[in-house]
A and B are shown apart, each in its own frame.
Chain A
Amino acid sequence: MTSGLRVEGLTVKRGDLTICRDVDLTVPKGEITVLLGANGAGKTTLLDGIAGVLPAAAGSISIGARRIDAIPVHRRASLGLSYVEQGRSVFSRLTVVQNLAVVDRSQHTRDKAFELFPRLADKRNVRAGLLSGGEQQMLIIARALATRPTMLLIDELSLGLAPRAVRMLMDTLVKLAESGMGILLVEQFAEVALRVGTTAYVMERGQIVHTDACSTILQDHTSRISPYYLGVASRQQPEP
């Protein structure tokens, strides 16, 4: 197994608190892998650990054959790992074009972003803080793609978005996966993610408690998901 992201026995702490314990997880290229779990289950902490925002207290992380768990955050990014944090992490004072330019100023990057999200082209010189929620998420995805990742980690893409916008973004993720990228998608509201994913991991109290094909979980869980039919429900404490 040399392609994709591989996490083995990963333990991550926040301060003195162990949040994720002994997590094993694989994100193959060309697929969307879904990570589910209730609020506070440790999903964000796990992503933080994989991306290097938090240090790995134990275990290993590798992309392909390369171990990355001792490498600083910014260099993991240059090794093809891109992490889209929770919340709208646009640079609100910069325009759309400038947001992309933080990574790369080339015309090529810009063209690719606008090809993927034509709506951004119309707003290229608008400050990102003034974009709608959906447009901001588009910009974030486009900006993450500008680092030319082989592996994309996304935390709560649907947070606070209208269902139509979520659907549109999910379609984009499917396209990206088809082009060969590996995607790890964290969602609190399972249904949307399960519809596009291949394999799903379920987290509880910092550990992976269940792994299965998305389609199987989808069938089992539809009844439990129904209370959240709105699909835009956000129960996460927003980050300051």
Chain B
Amino acid sequence: MRLGKPTHLGGGLFLLVLVTLGLILPTYWVYLLSTVAITAIIARSIGLVTHQAGIITLCQMSFAALGGWAVSYLAIAWPTAPFPLLVLIGGTVTAPVGLLIGIATTRVRGVELAVVTVGFATALDLVLRQGSFPGVGEGTPVIPSAPFDDPRWFFALAWALLIVLQIGIRALSRSVHGLGWTAVRVSERAAAALGVRVGGTKTSAFALGALFAGIAGGLLAGQYGLLTTAVFTPLTSMVHLVTAVLCGASVFGGAVLAGVFVVFIPELLRRIGLPLDAANALLALGAFDVLRRGGGGLVEKLNDQLQERAFRNTRVTCQLLPVSDERLQVGAMQPDGAALQGETVKHQTLQAACLHVDNLTVAFGDHRVLEAVNLTVEHEEVHALIGPNGAGKSTLVDAVTGFLPSYEGRVSLDGKPIERFGPRERARLGIRRTFQHVHAIDAITVENYLKLAAGAAGSERIPAVREFLDLPDGGVPIRLMDVGSRRILEIAGALASKPEILLLDEPAAGLGEAESRALAERVRQIPAVFGCAVLLIEHDMGFVRVASTRVTILDDGRLLTSGAVSEVLDDPRVIAAYLGQETAS
């Protein structure tokens, strides 16, 4: 049984155990187990926000407080309403608060965002302390409508909600939008380059996390009857965070374990006569140990190990075989000729160059990184951009893909200027890039990465790309792949999105001699097979000679020369001026 991905058998067994426990245990234990489910919902919400989307949240209990407040209020204002409905309303009114915080902090990231959440938690805590929860002053507790006033029915409700929410979040996590959460956690830059809406993705994680926590808070209102602010302090949010970190709450088993720890450790301490607040310290120390070891919480790690075992005998690398001469023929390599042929033809009727960079100047402070650079990449060509490190090649790629705050000059795609677009829009227009540092998201599978990268283009082209680059099985988790294969996977993802132009930043770094050669041959075929132009940055001249048709040399931010590969690389003046005489033999 895999804890994070319950099989049918495992899931059935789990349900059976739950129902049995709910029926046979004494009421007190049933009550505790309900609290476990509620806490697990909160832990899962932290799993979503912190583990999946990479935002440290220190305010999940504040969201729970809002849900609890809403349910307490509604229970008085609308006594006849069914309790589950109240809980759902509680969650629904909390979600917009998460949404608002998310929108306000679209451009804040990392630890700074954690500060915002702790600010919210303290602010709400103070506001709540000024007036108590509805019903507390008058002493009218929330009594869940029948049959949920019976602890066993309440137990059923709490666990049912947890399971339904888990199923929902699991499905969402595999959608293009949900995969975006993981992408944003790894690198916002890389996510935007994949066409992911960074702000929207973070905001949705916040909003969904708030929804979950709000529902949990509503359940707590029914569980406790009368709520106190002590349940929802910033400190309790922190304790829930460290527990989620300890257990690995991005998977179902981890969330449940977090619930078990939060409920039963104090229970245990009480029985052996130790102070209850030692539980917080224990959970915190446990979390520290998990952080120290790295690689995720207890259940996440278990899950990963099972996954590793499952793929022990599967190929987890891209095996690029050298292309034999016959296969170099375009027709033979064309994976699904008919579908792609149309796109190729379309380009041939266009007049304008695929990518045109006109008089591009970029300065960081007084330092001019690029000076009046002109570059034209035609449709259907692989154009190499070479030059020593620091010549401005990557800066040029950043400018074209929209990652620079400002530049002088013009960049146009198919003759249309793209200055007003940001990186995400440019990616959607068909300018795709890979990075010098591999950003392939190690927490997801090859299949899901391709799905995420393809985005709006759908999965139509994925089989062709997989065959073209010899990718491993779609179920293989990316973290099992080596750096070189991840690099190739990034190229595959970019191709799957049906780009107009692909900018490859040192694709051969980290590849062995033979693989590098084979990749060069594949890159050469990209225009013919996928109908997309390529701008290639590469230091390995062997690679450049095989892959590209034209080459531009940048030196110290200026264009040195440009022309056909053989002419430029064999030009004695170029060799003398740039390549260096002694090594040119």
- Please determine whether B388 and A133 come into contact, CB atoms closer than 8 angstroms: yes
| Interface window among B95-103, B151-159, B506-514 | B506-514
Determine the chain B residues whose CB is within 8 A of the CB of A233 once the complex forms.
539-541
Tell me the nearest residue of chain A to B583, going by C-beta: A231
Distance in Å: Cβ of B291 to nearest Cβ of chain A: 16
- Please determine whether B579 and A230 come into contact, CB atoms closer than 8 angstroms: yes
- Please determine whether A164 and B509 come into contact, CB atoms closer than 8 angstroms: no
Q: How far is the CA of A130 from the CA of B510 in the complex (A)?
A: 28
- Please determine whether A159 and B512 come into contact, CB atoms closer than 8 angstroms: no
Interface residues of A in 200-240 (CB under 8 A from B): 226-238, 240
Main secondary structure of the interface of B (DSSP, over half): loop
Q: How far is the CA of A192 from the CA of B583 in the complex (A)?
A: 8
Interface residues of A in 77-107 (CB under 8 A from B): none
Given A162-B578, A163-B582: A227 in contact with B542 (beta carbons within 8 A): yes
Most chain A CB within a 10 A radius of its CB, from B388, B436, B510, B541: B388
For A122-138 the 0/1 string (1 means CB < 8 A from B) is 00000000101100000
- Please determine whether B390 and A160 come into contact, CB atoms closer than 8 angstroms: yes
Which listed residue (A160, A161, A191) contacts B583, Cβ 8 A?
A: A191
- Please determine whether B509 and A235 come into contact, CB atoms closer than 8 angstroms: yes
- Please determine whether A162 and B580 come into contact, CB atoms closer than 8 angstroms: yes
Tell me the nearest residue of chain A to B544, going by C-beta: A230
Q: How many A-B contacts at CB < 8 Å in the complex? A: 78
Determine the chain A residues whose CB is within 8 A of the CB of B5 once the complex forms.
none
Interface residues of B in 493-520 (CB under 8 A from A): 506, 508-513, 516
- Kindly state the interface size class of chain B when it binds its partner: 20 to 34
Tell me the nearest residue of chain A to B513, going by C-beta: A38
**Interface flag for B389 (CB, 8 Å):** yes
Q: How far is the CA of A89 from the CA of B541 in the complex (A)?
A: 26
**Interface flag for B332 (CB, 8 Å):** no
Determine the chain A residues whose CB is within 8 A of the CB of B578 once the complex forms.
162
Given A160-B388, A161-B389, A229-B579: A237 in contact with B509 (beta carbons within 8 A): yes
**Interface flag for A39 (CB, 8 Å):** yes
Tell me the nearest residue of chain A to B438, going by C-beta: A237
Distance in Å: Cβ of B351 to nearest Cβ of chain A: 36
**Interface flag for B367 (CB, 8 Å):** yes
Determine the chain A residues whose CB is within 8 A of the CB of B437 once the complex forms.
237-238, 240
For B372-401 the 0/1 string (1 means CB < 8 A from A) is 000000000000000011100000000000
- Please determine whether A232 and B367 come into contact, CB atoms closer than 8 angstroms: no
Tell me the nearest residue of chain B to A130, going by C-beta: B367
- Please determine whether A235 and B516 come into contact, CB atoms closer than 8 angstroms: yes
Given A163-B583, A191-B583: A235 in contact with B508 (beta carbons within 8 A): yes
Distance in Å: Cβ of A133 to nearest Cβ of chain B: 5
Given A162-B388, A228-B542: A234 in contact with B509 (beta carbons within 8 A): yes
**Further 9 A-B residue pairs, CB within 8 A, beyond A235-B516, A236-B509:** A38-B513, A130-B365, A133-B389, A162-B388, A191-B583, A229-B583, A229-B585, A234-B389, A235-B509
Which B residues have a C-beta under 8 Å from some C-beta of A? 365, 367, 388-390, 436-438, 483, 506, 508-513, 516, 539-542, 556, 578-580, 582-585
> 7 interchain pairs (CB within 8 A)?
A40-B512, A132-B556, A133-B389, A163-B580, A229-B541, A229-B579, A231-B579
